[in-house]
Amino acid sequence: MADKDLSIVIPLFNEAESLPELHAWITRVLTQSALQYEILFVDDGSDDSSWNVIESLAAADPDHVRAASFRRNYGKSPALYTGFSMARGKVVITMDADLQDSPDEILPLYRMITVDGYDLVSGYKQKRYDPPSKTIPTKLFNATARRVSGIHNLHDFNCGLKAYRGEVVKHIEVYGDMHRYIPYLAKLAGFHKIGEKVVHHQARKYGTTKFGLDRFVNGYLDLATLWFTGKFGKKPMHFFGLLGSLMFLLGFLSAAAVGALKLYHMYAGHTYTLVTDSPYFYLSLVMMILGTQLFLAGFVGELVARNSAKRNDYEIRSTIGNDE
């Protein structure tokens, strides 16, 4: 139940040096407003003194600081999921703990949700203080994400600085490494008013980045997974059955063509070879076998979907009347 105007969710891993400065900056910004707010730190299994720092901040500011700590490092998505579960704000804002996201953006983002009526607003770090080895793959990644998701107005899907209506974070499940695609998850959950705000990006002041280049490879795989489950998650036969049927039909027609060609040469008195001597015959068999397997995979997928506890889990916006 939302009892705060604003929740600020901050996932972190080994950011002990930046936390006091970040807390002071957020407090300085929000004391200028009349908002009831909370700051949620989610420690993703840090092995430095981050948790000790958070405990000190909570002791000094018990009215605003809440926190959770994982026993080990799970990743940013589980940390965000936990923060979303704990959040009590009508508006939820996420930001990174490394001071590269500016707390000065909090109030403008809050107004875009409450005044402009957006469901989700994603930050856009138009000017970045990152090396080309990071910015160039990021641009390619975002271009692909725009194309696949259909959210063409976003330039930076993976920006940690985002604002949400409280209802949004309660209706999406962030898992694995899906934090990169929260706007896409929100769209699949039925929240379509998604906007963007150019935000200030600061150079890292303490420590080093916690993400490597492998995130780009994993990001594309996660995007493919999200696209497939979003489109065919409740109807796998529509994908596997269609693909299997087309492959089987193409293989069958190819095998028939090989046989018909032999019969033609036989009755025309031409020299001919056995069907089994043609490599096209075996390719046709392989296609029919693969087509059959894909079709059966569709049946198995339908059986799994039919027995899923979420097979009739639909997002209901509102209802009128009652059942009494």
Are 246 and 220 part of one and the same domain? no
What average pLDDT is seen over the chain? 85
Are 249 and 159 part of one and the same domain? no
Are 73 and 53 part of one and the same domain? yes
What pLDDT digit, counting tens, does each position of 123-166 carry?
998 776 666 666 677 788 888 888 888 898 898 888 889 999 99
What pLDDT digit, counting tens, does each position of 32-65 carry?
888 999 999 999 999 999 999 999 999 999 999 9
Q: Does some domain include residue 79?
A: yes
Let me know if 11 is exposed, middle or buried by CB neighbors in 10 A (0-12, 13-18, 19+).
buried
pTM of this structure: 0.73
Strands (E), 44-168: 65-69, 89-94, 120-124, 162-165
In degrees and rounded to multiples of 5, residue 150 shows phi and psi of 80, 5
Q: What gap in Å lies between CA 153 and CA 169, rounded to an integer?
A: 21
Q: What gap in Å lies between CA 209 and CA 16, rounded to an integer?
A: 14
Q: Does some domain include residue 312?
A: no
Are 35 and 181 part of one and the same domain? yes
CATH code of the domain covering residue 205:
3.90.550.10
Are 194 and 291 part of one and the same domain? no
Other CB atoms within 10 Å distance of the CB of residue 32: 8
Q: Does some domain include residue 297?
A: yes
Q: Does some domain include residue 65?
A: yes
What share of the chain has pLDDT > 90, as a percent? 47
Q: Does 118 score more than 70 pLDDT?
A: yes
Q: What gap in Å lies between CA 110 and CA 163, rounded to an integer?
A: 7
Displacement of CA 243 from its chain's centroid (Å): 26
Mean pLDDT to the nearest integer, 236-261: 88
Are 170 and 83 part of one and the same domain? yes
Domain count, the chain: 2
Other CB atoms within 10 Å distance of the CB of residue 144: 15
Contact 12, 19 (CB under 8 A): yes
Domain boundary among 202, 232, 262: 232
Query: Higher model confidence: residue 188 or residue 2?
Result: 188
Q: Which amino acid is at 313?
A: D
Q: What gap in Å lies between CA 188 and CA 150, rounded to an integer?
A: 11
Q: Does 101 score more than 80 pLDDT?
A: yes
Are 103 and 207 part of one and the same domain? yes
Identify the pLDDT of residue 235. Answer: 78
Contact 67, 41 (CB under 8 A): yes
Domain boundary among 184, 211, 232: 232
Q: Does some domain include residue 323?
A: no
- First vs last Cα of the chain: how many Å apart? 25
Identify the pLDDT of residue 317. Answer: 56
Q: Does 88 score more than 90 pLDDT?
A: yes
Mean pLDDT to the nearest integer, 110-121: 96
Q: What gap in Å lies between CA 19 and CA 139, rounded to an integer?
A: 29
Q: How far is CA 278 from each of CA 32, 77, 262, 267, 316, rounded to the nearest angstrom?
A: 80, 53, 10, 19, 57
Identify the pLDDT of residue 241. Answer: 84
Query: What's the domain range around 272?
Result: 237-306
